[in-house]
Structure 1
Amino acid sequence: PQFFLGVQKTSGYCFKTYRLHHISAHISSLIVDVGADILDLAETMITSNGLQYEPVIFELTPQQRLWQRTLLLIQNRLREEHALQEVLYKTLLKGAPTALPPREDASMEPLNACRIHGHVYVNKVAGNLHITVGKPIHHPQGHAHIAAFVSHETYNFSHRIDHLSFGEELPGVINPLDGTEKITYNNNQMFQYFITVVPTKLNTYKISADTHQFSVTERERVINHAAGSHGVSGIFVKYDTSSLMVTVSEQHMPLWQFLVRLCGIIGGIFSTTGMLHGLVGFCFDVICCRFKLGLYRPGEVLNQDAQLHQMNNLNHHHTPLLADNPPR
């Protein structure tokens, strides 16, 4: 099958008014210490009711660590291929491990992390998903995070992103941030992810969906007000939508076109073998003519050889003469 990519610029997307935002991440902080919300460019505060907070253990089991390594390996292969239409859309990576396996052992270790997962609807404008210290509260002037009751020594924004996607979720599709893990031992660490979302219409023989691709740029730094590095500790995912829309369609080669190409290949083989046969014959003729071999020997030499051959035949077939006086 062949995949055709079409790119067009559009002022209004052909999708719904809102885009579905899926997230699943582990934060190395207690559940009472962190909060997540989304603020977009239209100064609209997106409710985080669709996000759930769950106390978990940040360290992975051997089975979960194997899942993460497999996911990162697939991520590296996708970056090397640079051909989404051949790798991602053709097979949709059906065997890809897209869900974190649950813990099998009932570990007695303390629950030292918070897992944030769920989905929310966001506007088609630039926005910022931020996870920082304190639970968010809303007020007419914006929003704030209550962090006064959280000890500064408990800050730790080491995190692992299991899944982050936009639009309709397709089974088996791996997104750029899936499996990302960041470990820090500094309390004042800021992690930033800058995402450019590209709407994508996918039409294949197996699936038809309206989804979104995105590219990401990462940045992290330590907050140090004395050194002039200002900001807020936390995880910030800043996303923006592209004015381009990509259309991916799958088409198979018609039978008549396949037969025409097959005939062309067969004709080319016959033509090539004929040319090779003529070239070999020409070289053979040149070599034989140069060294005077076979039919290319001069006529005098051929005549002498013929006379010598006849004399040899006479000598071999000569009969002895009878004696003049045979015995009586």
Structure 2
Amino acid sequence: MRRLTKKKALNLVKELDAFPKIPDSYVESTASGGTVSLIAFTFMAILAFLEFFVYRDTWMKYEYEVDKDFTSKLRINVDITVAMKCQYIGADVLDLAETMVASDGLEYEPVNFELSPQQRIWQLTLWHIQERLRVEHSLQDVLFKSAIKIAPPSPIKNDDRNFHVTVGKSIPHPRGHAHLAALVSHDSFNFSHRINHLSFGEMIPGIISTLDGTEKVSTESNHMFQYFITIVPTKLNTYKITADTHLYSVTERERVINHAAGSHGVSGIFMKYDISSLMIRVTEQHMPLWQFLVRLCGIVGGIFSTTGMLHGMVGFLVDLICCRFQMGIYRNPKETSLAVQENNETSALIENHNEH
């Protein structure tokens, strides 16, 4: 009884077989079929190899949300070269009330404004990278992946809105601050400058900011350069680092100060920035293993199906071009027997007619 039940179960399983086996005696191997199989296996190997590189690659996912952090402090990383002597200029950071909040932390270092040949090559390379970043935004993802983390500088309050470099050293007073510009001759004014680096948040080497490499050369002594910056808080999370940084966009404006012509103002370099209420979360992602296996199965199955259909279509066209249908190879056997019978009957009638 158990054997009968087991046999019925096996027969039921065999009936559910979706992959019936064809005996080898019914299969005919051809040179064209072997060629198509070889081409199919080659394509499978190539596509599987390329798919493996896609699986190894990562991409950056950008998510936007409202910035709910109102207590953190903003770090400013600035490296700027001005074509004036250090004792003639002063730089400081102001808050919304125009109160000086950071001046002593800035370091002044005498350098030559003119670049050496090697420095000029690096400057041109940086300009080229900035141009490509404006066109090909995917390069920014490459910079994010190659970034590393170092210790950040001292933070500054989050409500600071102004960083400027102008004539004379700054002095604080109860109602704000002032610069001792009267002690500097107008002939020594030259606010040609080069922004080597300007970023906000944690210092992350490898990331090129928007104003990095910017160079402005002025032929006038009284010249005002303005940069209106919009800062977007950014949380960067890659397989190498996790950091809180800030991306920014900038609008530039410059004009010559000429009080006689009605162009009033103060000569210098002014950077006014505002912090956006939105936050960007940048996360490096990787293709999961199950998706990679599914894509491989799709490649193998798709190539098998496509090459099979193409082989059948090509064979049909070859047979059609060679007129094999007219040679009776694919003619129906019933039609062939009827045609032979009609020919025999016609021949018999002709012979009888000749005898009479």
Go from structure 1 to structure 2 and tell me whether the alpha carbon gap of 1:289 and 1:76 turns closer, same or farther (over 3 Å shift).
same
Does the residue aligned with 1:148 lie in a helix, a strand or coil?
helix
Instruction: Give the Å deviation of 1:155.
Output: 0.7
User: Which of 67, 78, 89 pairs up with 2:122?
Assistant: 67
Distance 2:110 2:253 in 1: 27
Distance 1:178 1:25 in 2: 10
Partner amino acid, structure 2, of 1:38? V
Instruction: Give the Å deviation of 1:136.
Output: 0.8
TM-score by length of 2: 0.71
Residue in 2 that maps onto 1:19: 74
Q: Where does the alignment leave 5 or more consecutive residues of structure 2 unmatched?
A: 1-57, 341-356
Contact 1:289 1:296 in 2 (8 A): no
Residue in 1 that maps onto 2:291: 257
Residue in 2 that maps onto 1:248: 282
Instruction: Give the Å deviation of 1:219.
Output: 1.2
Tell me if 1:178 matches 2:212: yes
Structure whose residues are more often strand by fraction: 1
How do 1:93-242 and structure 2 match up within 5 A? Answer: 121-125=155-159, 127-242=161-276
Go from structure 1 to structure 2 and tell me whether the alpha carbon gap of 1:136 and 1:294 turns closer, same or farther (over 3 Å shift).
farther
Structure 1 vs Structure 2 CA RMSD: 2.7
Go from structure 1 to structure 2 and tell me whether the alpha carbon gap of 1:80 and 1:153 turns closer, same or farther (over 3 Å shift).
same
Contact 1:288 1:296 in 2 (8 A): no
Does the residue aligned with 1:237 lie in a helix, a strand or coil?
strand
Distance 1:226 1:272 in 2: 80
Partner amino acid, structure 1, of 2:75? L
Residue in 2 that maps onto 1:266: 300
Distance 1:216 1:252 in 2: 32
Residue in 2 that maps onto 1:76: 131
Distance 1:227 1:282 in 2: 87
Distance 1:10 1:84 in 2: 26
Does the residue aligned with 1:121 lie in a helix, a strand or coil?
coil
User: Which of 313, 326, 335 pairs up with 1:279?
Assistant: 313
Distance 1:78 1:37 in 2: 30
Partner amino acid, structure 1, of 2:78? I
Contact 1:51 1:119 in 2 (8 A): no
Distance 2:209 2:141 in 1: 16
- 1:184-220, Cα deviation, whole Å (9 max, x unpaired): 1101111111111111111111111111111112111
Does the residue aligned with 1:49 lie in a helix, a strand or coil?
coil
User: Which of 10, 14, 25 pairs up with 2:67?
Assistant: 10
Contact 2:93 2:160 in 1 (8 A): no
Go from structure 1 to structure 2 and tell me whether the alpha carbon gap of 1:294 and 1:131 turns closer, same or farther (over 3 Å shift).
farther
How do 1:287-306 and structure 2 match up within 5 A? Answer: 287-289=321-323, 292=326, 295=329
Residue in 2 that maps onto 1:49: 104
Aligned length: 277
Instruction: Give the Å deviation of 1:31.
Output: 1.3
Distance 2:174 2:327 in 1: 106
Instruction: Give the Å deviation of 1:250.
Output: 1.6
Distance 1:249 1:85 in 2: 13
Residue in 2 that maps onto 1:88: 143
Partner amino acid, structure 2, of 1:82? H
Tell me the percent identity: 63
Distance 2:328 2:174 in 1: 108
More displaced stretch, 267-276 vs 286-295: 286-295
- 1:238-257, Cα deviation, whole Å (9 max, x unpaired): 11111111111122222222
More displaced stretch, 181-190 vs 288-297: 288-297
Contact 1:25 1:163 in 2 (8 A): yes
Contact 1:18 1:121 in 2 (8 A): yes
Partner amino acid, structure 2, of 1:236? F
Go from structure 1 to structure 2 and tell me whether the alpha carbon gap of 1:149 and 1:42 turns closer, same or farther (over 3 Å shift).
closer
Instruction: Give the Å deviation of 1:178.
Output: 1.2
Distance 1:259 1:38 in 2: 55
Q: List, as ranges, runs of 4+ consecutive aligned residues in structure 1 with deviation greater than 3 Å.
A: 118-121, 288-299
Contact 1:203 1:209 in 2 (8 A): yes
Structure whose residues are more often helix by fraction: 2
Instruction: Give the Å deviation of 1:75.
Output: 1.9
Contact 2:67 2:233 in 1 (8 A): no
Distance 1:213 1:122 in 2: 17
Q: Where does the alignment leave 5 or more consecutive residues of structure 1 unmatched?
A: 95-117, 304-328
Does the residue aligned with 2:205 lie in a helix, a strand or coil?
coil
Contact 2:147 2:241 in 1 (8 A): no
